[in-house]
Amino acid sequence: LYSGRPVLNSFTGYGDLIQAYDAGISVAAGDPAALAKAILQLKSLPKAARAQMGARGRKGALEHHEYYALAKQLERVLFPLG
């Protein structure tokens, strides 16, 4: 996600994140036919659409998963009045 490129995912547990940011395509692990179809689907998208996917993923990663952002969230929980 940080790279700003669309993600093609076949790992269990990351699909929800990729879908939440509309940052790529996820398929079930161990399904080579679905992976091949996803590769072709991603390849067939216009370059601008792939760039937008990548940009959405990077934006989501920086806003919600970057260390500074996570530290600020933790700070708000630990010190809500300060």
Q: What is the DSSP letter of 21?
A: H
Closest by CA to 54, choosing from 10, 16, 26, 18, is 18
Contact 27, 34 (CB under 8 A): yes
Per-residue pLDDT, 66 = 80
Helix (H, G, I), strand (E, B) or coil at 35: helix
Give the chain's residues under pLDDT 70: 82
Distance CA 48, CA 26 (A): 20
Calculate the CA 46 to chain-centre distance.
19
Per-residue pLDDT, 20 = 92
Per-residue pLDDT, 82 = 62
Distance CA 62, CA 65 (A): 6
User: Residue 39, Cβ neighbours under 10 Å: how many?
Assistant: 13
